[in-house]
Structure 1
Amino acid sequence: MTVEALASSVAQRVRALAPARSDYTDLPRSWRHDLLAGVTVAVVALPLALGFGVASGLGAAAGLVTAIVAGAVAAIFGGSHLQVSGPTGAMAVVLLPVVARHGTEAVPVVAIMAGGIVVLAGVLGIGRLVAYIPWPVVEGFTCGIGVVIALQQVPLALDTPRADGENAGLVALSTIGAVDWPQAVAPLGLVALVVAVMIVLPRLRKGLPASLIAVVAATLVAEVAHLDVDRIGALPSGLPGPHLPVVDLATTSALFSSALAVAALAALESLLSARVADGMADDIGRTRPNRELFGQGLANVASGLFGGLPATGAIARTAVNVRSGGRTRVASLMHALVLAAIVYLAAPLVGRIPLSVLAGVLLVTAARMVDVPTMRAICRSSRSGALVFCVTLAVTVVFDLVMAVEVGVAAAAVLALRAVARSSGLHREPFDDESEDHLTADTEHALLHEHIAVYRIDGALFFADVRRFLDEIALVSDVRVVVLRLGNVRVLDASGANALVEIITDMRRRGIVVLLKGLRPEHRRLAEGVGVISALSDDQHVFDDLQDALAHARSHVRRAQVTTRMG
């Protein structure tokens, strides 16, 4: 392909990912619902944006900037009509080690780099791969994120400086060991108040923004009681201007692995969130996964240019959007505009919110991510599902999120291959000779059955099961013809085809003729390429009908008997 043709192909793909008028087809009918849903989501998103900004190490202002800028860009360019994007707990978990190693100034650089990677993934069409992530991996990943977010809130909930370290569990233990307990009573009381309001209020009346009401109530208590607790502090009264961070080659190289991890998480979480939204609203157009990656990548680049965090599609906010009646991307855009208005009009009031109050909001959010009924269902489903879930959860908590998905998918793949291998088998079959000129003498008929063996291979003949198959077939002896029935072989890979070559070669060396019956058309090219057909003593030893194969086997046995008698 020439450079011009490649450029034209890329340009065509990018045009296919661009916004279109069809994105707003339903707007005339749903604009009222979209505006109301956008306001509702903004109310829910405000404390989460502040909390995740603080949890990431960059501060509440960075969280707000991310929710506004990334939320607006993703709403316009993303592939989902319902997705709401912004800072998330999973991204905060990934960013803490980046801040610890490289400082806060590295985060916008990572956001821009990761955004570029995600844009490239969308252009290359990688979005469809999320469908291959198993359910236990997704749930283990989500549950592990909830545990890590809860552990990260320990320093904020206790108003104690965060201990050094990257692992959330070890940091929480070190922080608890250094806490001034009399000083921690007030922030713990605010945490308890927030948790109580967020749990009790929805039971009394659904539809109320429990998290926002809890933040307002706890902040008023702190103000009236003049509690000595840490606050968010001064916030800018407007959005910062865009600027390109100054970086050199050494810095870019050092941050590349972090950017790759952030990009993987941004793509994964966004596509999973969009998939959840599609399931909640069956009457809305399905998410276009590659366009979703393209939009999320642009959102991350924009967020980094404005000094914000990397962003992803947020499951909690997206679910609120769907339940509130949002039907077009105008709802997501409205959420960003409302948050921008709050920054311009209420920054001093927001700055008075205690940090421990945000910790309380995130603790409840984290607890809701640990879905006990789903965990129980997975653990009851099968041992392999339970193992994959537990492994993914443990790796998420102990190591990091991207590694957790990699290990979880690898474990699920190994267990699936093991299950496929176990369901496969080699079976010797009895057979009836139904040909028109079949032998009539009982002794000759017995000789026929004695010198011909028919084996049926079921399931898969592939790399995970080749050794067992070779060991079983090597035991075949005292026959002159073996008919291998391949019609039930659903999966055949290069290793399986090579195993057939080894079997045929070994049997020919022992004087046994191998006939193949029922080789599927989709496997024929592979078999020919690896050398299965050429390994046969005659390229006509491949049959579609069992009786034709048996007739050929019988004639071979007869010739062999005649040769033996003449010798």
Structure 2
Amino acid sequence: TAANVKNGGRTPIAGIIHALVGFCILLFLGKWAELIPIPCLAAILVVVAYNMSEWRSFKALFNTPKSDIIVLLVTFLLTVIVDLTVGIEVGIVLAILLFMRRMVQVSAVTVLNDDILSEKQDEEKELENLSLPKGVEVYEVNGPFFFGAAEKFKEAMLQMGSRPKVRIIRLRHVPAVDSTGIRLFWQVIQDSSKHGTRLILSGMNMSVESMLRKAGVLDKLGEENICPDIKAALTQAAALLK
């Protein structure tokens, strides 16, 4: 197959012809094919393996982050020493763990105050002339709202300590949410209801909104507490404080 691809075979027809030729050789020329010396076949396989190895690309991969290099070397060594299946399985597991670690690293939760709002006004026009009413807390989540971001959100709320009258969660930079994030939303809603805090969500994209709506979070929260942007959320918060 590798030799076929190297010689220009790109379509399914090339694979079919390759299979038919091999079948015909075994069926009609088998007694002559068995006379081919094994060293000759070995030499052909060595050349094909060398062409498949793409060692230049392999060398270039050593300029990637160390975690990727570890996955590469572990998969390579297990494939050579143990078995191809074992190498692939372990490599996939390591890649999944690495992906989860990176998702935790890129996610962040920021508690906005008047000073931070002033700093961000140059970057975001929608923050111009905005200030936080007393009794309102704004949490901005950046990155996928998976288990890592959920833990950071819990830590941010614990650090604040106080019980605000209105809590706004800004989700404009959240591309996706998983079951852990959905469970956290339910916990926040229950905690807010218990302590008399109103909860407002702002800036959700369609994907996140669809997930939360299917989970029943938005129905529990109420449509009036779902705002398209931070300005509308602060306006709603001011109305709730009256």
| TM-score normalised over the length of structure 1 | 0.35
1:535, 1:477 → 2: CA distance?
Answer: 25
Q: Is residue 2:2 matched to residue 1:315?
A: yes
3-state SS of 2:143 partner: strand
Q: Is residue 2:104 matched to residue 1:421?
A: yes
1:338, 1:416 → 2: CA distance?
Answer: 42
The alpha carbon displacement at 1:484 in A equals 0.9
**One-letter amino acid matched to 2:3:** A
**Cα distance change of structure 1 residues 474 and 342 upon mapping to structure 2, 3 Å threshold:** closer
3-state SS of 1:491 partner: coil
Q: Is residue 2:172 matched to residue 1:487?
A: yes
The alpha carbon displacement at 1:501 in A equals 1.6
Q: Paired residue for 2:235, among 545, 548, 551?
A: 551
Q: 1:366 corresponds to which residue?
A: 49
Task: State whether residues 67 and 98 of structure 2, in contact with CA within 8 Å, keep that contact through their aligned partners in structure 1.
Answer: yes
Q: 1:115 corresponds to which residue?
A: none
Superimposed CA distance per residue, residues 100-144 of structure 1 (whole angstroms, 9 cap, x where no aligned partner): xxxxxxxxxxxxxxxxxxxxxxxxxxxxxxxxxxxxxxxxxxxxx
Q: 1:541 corresponds to which residue?
A: 225
The alpha carbon displacement at 1:426 in A equals 0.9
1:357, 1:486 → 2: CA distance?
Answer: 64
The alpha carbon displacement at 1:450 in A equals 4.1
Structure 1 residues without counterparts, runs of 5 or longer: 1-313, 433-437, 439-444, 560-567
2:225, 2:19 → 1: CA distance?
Answer: 69
1:77-96 counterparts in 2 under 5 A? none
Q: Paired residue for 2:204, among 519, 524, 533?
A: 519
2:140, 2:236 → 1: CA distance?
Answer: 18
1:491-502 counterparts in 2 under 5 A? 491-502=176-187
3-state SS of 1:428 partner: strand
Higher relative contact order (CA 8 A, sep 6+): 1
The alpha carbon displacement at 1:401 in A equals 2.0
**Cα distance change of structure 1 residues 366 and 548 upon mapping to structure 2, 3 Å threshold:** closer
| TM-score normalised over the length of structure 2 | 0.75
**One-letter amino acid matched to 2:231:** Q
Superimposed CA distance per residue, residues 2-47 of structure 1 (whole angstroms, 9 cap, x where no aligned partner): xxxxxxxxxxxxxxxxxxxxxxxxxxxxxxxxxxxxxxxxxxxxxx
The alpha carbon displacement at 1:517 in A equals 1.1
Task: State whether residues 453 and 482 of structure 1, in contact with CA within 8 Å, keep that contact through their aligned partners in structure 2.
Answer: yes
1:376, 1:392 → 2: CA distance?
Answer: 15
Q: 1:399 corresponds to which residue?
A: 82
The alpha carbon displacement at 1:474 in A equals 2.9
Q: 1:454 corresponds to which residue?
A: 138
1:543, 1:474 → 2: CA distance?
Answer: 25
2:14, 2:192 → 1: CA distance?
Answer: 70
The alpha carbon displacement at 1:345 in A equals 6.1
Moved over 6 A (4+): none
**Cα distance change of structure 1 residues 359 and 458 upon mapping to structure 2, 3 Å threshold:** same
**Cα distance change of structure 1 residues 528 and 351 upon mapping to structure 2, 3 Å threshold:** closer
Task: State whether residues 146 and 177 of structure 2, in contact with CA within 8 Å, keep that contact through their aligned partners in structure 1.
Answer: yes
3-state SS of 1:392 partner: helix
Question: Rg: which structure is higher?
Answer: 1
- Identity score, percent: 22
The alpha carbon displacement at 1:380 in A equals 1.1
1:456, 1:497 → 2: CA distance?
Answer: 16
Task: State whether residues 427 and 456 of structure 1, in contact with CA within 8 Å, keep that contact through their aligned partners in structure 2.
Answer: yes
**What is the RMSD of the two structures over their aligned residues, measured on CA atoms?**
3.3
